[in-house]
A and B are shown apart, each in its own frame.
Chain A
Amino acid sequence: MKIWCQQHKLAAAGLTGLIILTAAAIIVPLCSNYSYSAQDVQIKNLPSSFAHLFGTDKFGRDIFVRVWYGTRISLMIGIGSAFINGIIGILYGGTAGFIGGRADMLLMRIADVISSIPSLLYIILITMVLGANVGSLLLGICIAGWISTARIVRGEMLRLKEMEYVMAANLSGVPKWIIFFKHLLPGTLGPVIVNITVLIPQAIFTEAFLSFVGIGIEAPMASLGTLIQDARSQMQLYPSQMVYPIFILCLLVVSISFVGADLERAAKSQRRG
């Protein structure tokens, strides 16, 4: 364990950050005395204090609690979308690559067309239609989010299909679907995992920015993006209100990115030697 931590300093740091953030996101809202929407105009715009670790915002809401509610949303969207995109991508791309030929061409053309439209447009329009909540954001992100994963899996599948160990497995009488799941898919997972660790921060970022612009999660629900937006109007007078959500957001995204970057490095050196 120790050696692993030394060799993968980045990943260790990232994971530590992630664990702390997730724990806080789960525990704090449960334990806190304040809800995310309780307004108390009397205590508005307070600086950090023992009672309100991050202070209060312009409506008197406790920022600390709201930040962790927001982190919850980010985590849900980030991990949820990565999960869904991952599964769809692996199955779609794997099938396309495995079957090959015309079916493959057709499947990839469809993916091409879907992906040539900027996905943000989908997301915005869907949130408009279905309302701004976690569900519709997830739907929007997942409409085209699986395509990059699918392309990677398909590419790997095409490459691995021609490998001699697949031929050998054929000769040994292994049925095709077992070859698919046991021999081929595991080989594609390396690049896929790296890809997913890039998708998570992207999803979190998309949600935060949409909420910031006002198209994502709606008030009074707290998302890190809405928090930043709320604080923006106070930027001149109370800059600290903006600092906390920004800091936590960055910490979250950077932690995941560290893990991802490290995985990428490891995957590359594995491929070389």
Chain B
Amino acid sequence: MSLLTVKDLCVRYKNQIKKMEAVREISFSVKPGECVGIVGESGSGKSTAMQALMGLLPDTAEVSCGELKLGEQSLMVSAQNGSKKDREHFEKQMCRIRGGEMSMIFQNPSAYLNPAVKIGRQIAETIRVHKQCSTKEAKEETLRLLEMVGIRNPLQRISQYPFELSGGMQQRVAIAIALACEPKLLIADEPTTALDATVQKQILALLRRIAEETGTAMIIVTHNLSAAAVLCSRILVMKAGQIIEEGSVQDIFRYPQASYTKELVYYAQELQKGAGGQAGGGVLLKTEKVCKKYRNQNFWLGRDDQEAVHQVSMEIREGESFGIVGESGSGKTTLARLVAGIHKPTSGQILSRGEIQMVFQHSYGSFNPRFTVEQILEEPLIYQTGDNREQRMEKINKMLPLVGINPEERKKYPHQFSGGQQQRIGIARALISDPKLVVCDEPVSSLDVSIQAQILELLKEIQDRRNLSYLFISHDLNVIRHMSQRMGVMYLGRMVESGITEEVYEDPWHPYTKELLTSVLVPDPKIAKRKKRALIKDNLFSEEKGCPYYSHCGYALECCGKEKPEIYQFDSRRVACFLYSEEHGGKRSPDYVMTAQI
């Protein structure tokens, strides 16, 4: 007996010149309490299909469906395009069902919560739409829901606005809203894609717990196979509007049948491999105790100076890749910009030899939309070399094929290229003035998994050919491991650990590093489902005194709350943690080899 039965669901968009079919006759079913994952790239139609089920698509979409049943009821989604009477009838039916029996959460919680309404009210009003109850009862229920989704101090939170909460908390609130009326089915559309690694893991664990405790069936839509592996028992793979493979999660990973599925699994696992490569040569870049403070933009939250980067010291050698990993707010982007010379540090020194260029996360934003590709590439040459026009054109013609763009397309505008191609153009621009060090700030984070792998390959290739150095920034540990020989971990503006990538990966010394590593999404269902330790609470700001990680740290000592730790160096490893200081480890002989204290 299935909870949801979908047969031949089809979605077409009316507006386009050629009628585009976003979803082509898909059929599937969900059993009560089951957790199904729908995996596919952006544009595969998975989100559109889910919104069609809920009747949330705009009027420009034509929806038709052979059969759609939720429990015993038939949902006439095709009525959306029918007569006025049909539409009204459908709307009435759906208003009852949406939020009541079937609910949905979306990718970007900050956009989906009403910015002008307090959290508590947004939850309570959902309850009152579907149930008859007093304000007091609704409030009690709200508090209960907030506790269930793991938000502490719910009484304080209900009178806050969405912008006062972190991304993870906003998503928890969205989940609370979705669960308010005990739906039978919860659809989660990319619920964790916009969140940090550690928070991703928490939200997935939360969803899992809810599924187990309440028996709610779930459909998880994501482009990240590894995320699906954590939660789901069954996976549907979608491409170009069709379901091309369906199976248990084990089957999909071990024995993928369709070639596209095989590709997805392959790319997910590719990124697990290490970086390889050697670092030789002299020191190219050195930062010494670099700090960057910002005047507070946000007077409502009442702090005067925010330290984006605090006392970071590191070095990069010729031909080497140094990776920096950290979550949002860790200061890694600010550090990248300091190294590149875009901002000046408030204190400390940055010494460098040779030219430094940068590849940005969203290449499209880093191009002047009025410039053609040729103009974009020509600009650095005009201002940094003495070449005349012919020489510049020659360089451009040589560079484009190097990054995989056809030189004949150079008069086109950036918006005419795909995301992956735009990143390639961005790389071309960074390389064209022949720099020694390229800072890559999340260069692949906004791309689909298969394209990610291609771009990273390209970067590696170029590095080998030109003996370039990279400063590679990412929030994705897999990417860092794949790309860098040495790495640093940043937390709230400080570099808490750094060392040789493989070593840090296998044997983390700092408690935060360990926490990050346990959050890594692994495309292997067996490993993914093992229970790991969860973080204690969400905080927006670091404490004033003491180690910034103090409030989350499972190994915290008393001194950790009072003073900030120094950076202790042991061979190639540096750790900022009191566990490794002499006061607490005891005096050691010069030959003592330090090991992990956690």
Contacts and interface: CB of A to CB of B under 8 A. Distances in A.
**Does A touch B (CB under 8 Å) in the complex?**
yes
A167 B357 CA distance: 11
Contact of B337 (A163, A167, A173): A167
B342 A171 contact: yes
Most central of B337, B362, B380 by chain A CB within 10 Å: B380
Nearest to A163: B365
Nearest to B441: A164
B156 interface: no
Contacts of A173: 380, 383-384
- Range, interface on chain B: 20 to 34
Contacts of B384: 172-173
A165 B414 CA distance: 12
Interface string B423-453: 0000001000100000000000000000000
Nearest to A101: B295
Contact of B379 (A163, A174, A186): A174
Given A163-B365, A183-B368, A186-B370, A168 B383 contact: no
Interface in A162-198: 163-165, 167-175, 183, 186-187
Given A163-B365, A164-B365, A183-B368, A169 B360 contact: no
A186 B369 CA distance: 11
B340 A171 contact: yes
Contacts of A169: 368, 379
A168 B370 contact: no
Interface in B308-348: 337, 340-342
B509 interface: no
B366 A167 contact: yes
Contacts of B362: 164
B358 interface: yes
Interface string B349-372: 000000011101010011110100
Interface residues of A, number: 15
A165 B340 CA distance: 14
Interface string A139-180: 000000000000000000000000111011111111100000
Nearest to B370: A186
Given A170-B342, A171-B342, A171-B358, A164 B366 contact: yes
Nearest to A167: B342
A164 B360 contact: yes
B383 A175 contact: yes
A172 B379 contact: yes
B433 A172 contact: yes
A171 B360 CA distance: 12
A170 B344 CA distance: 13
A254 B429 CA distance: 48
A163 B370 CA distance: 14
A137 B433 CA distance: 55
B408 to A, nearest CB: 24
Given A171-B357, A172-B433, A165 B367 contact: yes
Contacts of A168: 358, 360, 366-367, 429
Interface string B282-293: 000000000000
A247 B380 CA distance: 56
Nearest to A184: B368
A235 to B, nearest CB: 51
Nearest to B343: A167
A165 B368 contact: yes
B366 A174 contact: no
Nearest to B384: A173
Nearest to B295: A101
Contact of B383 (A163, A167, A174, A187): A174
A172 B360 contact: no
Most central of A169, A172, A174, A175 by chain B CB within 10 Å: A172
27 contacts: A163-B365, A163-B366, A164-B360, A164-B365, A165-B365, A165-B366, A165-B368, A167-B358, A167-B366, A168-B358, A168-B360, A168-B366, A168-B367, A169-B379, A170-B342, A171-B340, A171-B341, A171-B342, A171-B357, A171-B380, A172-B380, A172-B384, A172-B433, A175-B383, A183-B368, A186-B370, A187-B370
Given A164-B365, A165-B366, 6 more contacts: A163-B366, A167-B342, A168-B360, A171-B341, A171-B357, A173-B380
Interface of B: 337, 340-342, 356-358, 360, 362, 365-368, 370, 379-380, 383-384, 429, 433
List the 5 closest A-B pairs by CB distance, nearest first: A173-B383, A172-B380, A164-B366, A164-B365, A173-B384
